[in-house]
Amino acid sequence: MVILKRVNDIEEYLNLKRVKGNQIGFVPTMGALHSGHISLVERCKADGGVSVCSIFVNPTQFNDKSDLEKYPRSVEGDIELLLQAGCDVLFLPDVSDIYPDGEAAMPSWDFGYLETVLEGATRPGHFRGVGQVVARLLQVVQPDRLYLGSKDYQQCMVIKKLAELTGMKELRVVICPTQREPDGLAMSSRNRRLSEGQRSVAGLIYQCLVSIQAKQGSAPFAVVQKECDDLMRAKGFVPEYIALAHADTLELLEDYKPGTPMVALIAAKIGEIRLIDNLVV
């Protein structure tokens, strides 16, 4: 695996690969890699061409500065995992490579409605930051294919919209399934921060999503939502939202709508740690 830190170096390296007829597949990450990230790298490799992974903890997408400071970092372990997965290129830039003229000088894209609901509403400015960094990374890597995990359902929608807004018509955005622990907990870098006690109840988020899915047709969504809220609070969670939405537009639904593609989404804090998950209903 080649590890490149400077924008010029990776641009030069990938240009040579492109000239030789290689396609480029790209997995952007913030590090603290787990099997979910590695499944994206594996899919990227299986699709052929040169596989590129980036590790960059992007300051502009953290609306809470203490969340940024506490975000887990484990570059050496990450390199080991990427080597084992057979990743071809690791891009490991600094803030000054990504934002050479400062963060404020970067263009910011408007994602409209998506910025006003769920993650957009609870983390103001978050998607602006995601848009900024992903646009910059795409500008540098110029991939043919971009691999994202569906755990970040709304982020996937935002990045697809970014590709439209920036006119990247050729870019194929490949959304891959959420990887889960045996108790259903969605794999996430943040899981490392859970205490033993918090970890022992964290699978409840997925159980709630499954019950929202299973009770379609037998109970109104408001009743199931309340049951989930009570269950989660009893185990020490503070739910931020337990929502049902149109799977294509994220328009919030008050009740199940048979025949409509739907997704259930939950965000909750346990102690200081904020977890999100979703399930297509």
* Site residues, ligand PAF (CB under 6 A): 28-30, 58, 61, 130, 133-134, 152, 155
Q: Cα separation of 130 and 50, whole Å? A: 24
- Nearest distance in Å: CB 137, ligand PAF: 7
- Nearest distance in Å: CB 130, ligand PAF: 5
40 vs 185, beta carbon nearer ligand PAF: 40
Mapping DSSP onto H, E and C, the string for 164-183 reads HHCCCCCCEEEEECCCECCC
- Nearest distance in Å: CB 59, ligand PAF: 10
Quick check: helix, strand or coil at residue 149? strand
Per the rule left: phi > 0, alpha: psi between -120 and 50, beta: everything else, 49 is: left
Quick check: helix, strand or coil at residue 8? helix
130 vs 228, beta carbon nearer ligand PAF: 130
118 vs 212, beta carbon nearer ligand PAF: 118
Q: What residues have CB less than 8 Å from 253, skipping those under 6 apart?
A: 221, 244, 245, 246, 260, 262
Q: Cα separation of 244 and 209, whole Å? A: 10
Q: Cα separation of 41 and 76, whole Å? A: 17
Residues β-bridged to residue 262? 246
Query: Which residue in the list 34, 37, 126, 246 is annotated as catalytic?
Result: 37
Angle at alpha carbon of residue 252, lines to 249 and 258, rounded to 5°: 85
58 vs 278, beta carbon nearer ligand PAF: 58
Biggest distance spanned by C-alpha atoms of the chain: 59
- Nearest distance in Å: CB 234, ligand PAF: 30
Contact at 8 Å (CB) between 39 and 61? no
> Does 37 qualify as catalytic in the annotation?
yes
58 vs 198, beta carbon nearer ligand PAF: 58
- Nearest distance in Å: CB 36, ligand PAF: 10
Residues marked as catalytic: 37
